[in-house]
Structure 1
Amino acid sequence: MKLSKTIALDADGVLLNYNLAYAAAWERAFGLAPALKNAQAYWAVDRWDVQHLEGEPLQRFRASFDRDFWSSVPAMAGAVQACHRLVAAGWELVCVSALKPEFAQARQDNLSQLGFPIGRVIATSGAVPGGSSISPKARALAELAPAAFVDDYLPYFQGVSAHIHKALVLREPQGSPNTGPGMQAIDSTHGYLAEFVDWWLENQPQ
């Protein structure tokens, strides 16, 4: 079977620094930038010194995750250059993001403004109706049939075809969901996207 020349890439945590954007959203909602609490925390709510929200403050904070937010998330260090290396080697890149479809264009604009050579965003939303354990990205990946799929969230590999190389970006370890039996299905692990690209270009046929 001929190898696909497409690589599917997650956005938040792989291409884009959601944790930094989260702090900016907090400042925008409440007028005060949160202090860093734990640089090794996987989840943004644990990384920053922020309080638990309920009621009106929670609604205000959620409202800040609008089109402006999703079109202005900063790039992960080295990610733009890593993507250009893949494209230069003949790979086509597609962003597969667990994002509400209404924000797909904002994400595309964000990637374009940052200089990512990615011309397509597939927004899958973040959950599967009915509480299925299958990844919301699995169907999109089945249709796309990329050679590889890179994500930083282990549950999003659940149900992804064995024919697709599954590359997990581990990033910050504290509170990480990237542990347990699901790791057995992962084909390679990397600290960040550029590390995956180094490995991929060395090990895959061009």
Structure 2
Amino acid sequence: MQNRIIALDADGVLLDYNLGYAAAWKRAFGIYPKEVDPNAYWAQDRWDVEQLDGDRLEHFRASFDETFWESLYALPGAIQACKDLKSAGYLLVCVTALTGRFVAARKRNLQQLGFPIETVIATGKYAEGKSPKAVALNLLSPAVFVDDYLPYMAGVRPGIHRALITRDPNGSPNAGAALQSVASKHNNLREFSDWWLSTATV
């Protein structure tokens, strides 16, 4: 039986985390930050925001609550890309580095936006020496794993096609020798979907 599972990261692949970051900043401090680098990979570099510590940092972190994780916007073309993959017979699974307590919020967010995704797997962010997603992915054994963060490809077994989304190049961690482990690179999920559906043999 052919493998018809595609595992998708959320932030930076399906959802616009960087835009959500600015909204969280406004929730915390009452001011929507000015955009200084629209091509920045990291949200802190995209927006004109101060480096936080102490009580202000804790106050800001509190904004990343269930409301935040259930209200992110879809990235352009991502919903249609998923619908095209679904129509072609693929089962889409979101594999996210969120903690488990926010998995329901993430699932609500995806479904309210219209993503045809029924399953969300939350792995947490930390795993010594390898991607925190590696164990879940190797058990799931999808045909493809799509992520926008190269370090999360580490430890994913070679039989899984690793597709890297190379968004927002300024300050990107998607560089170096580890790129050799990537099977394909794409600017966004829609580009991946179009390419995969035109070339895939599984």
Superposed pair shares fold, TM > 0.5: yes
Structure 1 counterpart of 2:3: 4
- Does the residue aligned with 1:7 lie in a helix, a strand or coil? strand
What one-letter code is carried by the residue in structure 2 that aligns with 1:125? G
How many residue pairs end up in the alignment?
202
How far did residue 205 of structure 1 move? Answer: 2.7
Q: Distance in 1 between matches of 2:101 and 2:47?
A: 28
Structure 2 counterpart of 1:167: 163
Structure 2 counterpart of 1:48: 47
Matched, 1:199 2:195: yes
Q: Distance in 2 between matches of 1:195 and 1:161?
A: 24
TM-score (norm 2): 0.99
What one-letter code is carried by the residue in structure 2 that aligns with 1:87? K
What one-letter code is carried by the residue in structure 1 that aligns with 2:23? A
Structure 2 counterpart of 1:105: 104
Structure 2 counterpart of 1:35: 34
TM-score (norm 1): 0.97
- Does the residue aligned with 2:7 lie in a helix, a strand or coil? strand
Q: Deviations for 1:119-148, whole angstroms, at most 9, x for unmatched residues?
A: 0000000111xxx22100000001100000
What one-letter code is carried by the residue in structure 2 that aligns with 1:205? T
What one-letter code is carried by the residue in structure 2 that aligns with 1:123? A
Gaps of 5+ in 2: none
Q: Distance in 2 between matches of 1:202 and 1:133?
A: 35
Structure 2 counterpart of 1:178: 174
What one-letter code is carried by the residue in structure 2 that aligns with 1:92? L
> Residue 137 of structure 2 is aligned with which of 134, 141, 147?
141
Q: Distance in 1 between matches of 2:2 and 2:183?
A: 16
Q: Distance in 1 between matches of 2:192 and 2:156?
A: 19
What one-letter code is carried by the residue in structure 1 that aligns with 2:88? A
Please tell me the root mean square deviation across aligned C-alpha atoms, in Å.
Answer: 0.7
Q: Distance in 2 between matches of 1:145 and 1:198?
A: 22
Structure 1 counterpart of 2:92: 93
Structure 2 counterpart of 1:61: 60
Structure 1 counterpart of 2:120: 121
Task: Please identify runs of 4+ aligned residues in structure 1 that moved more than 3 A.
Answer: none
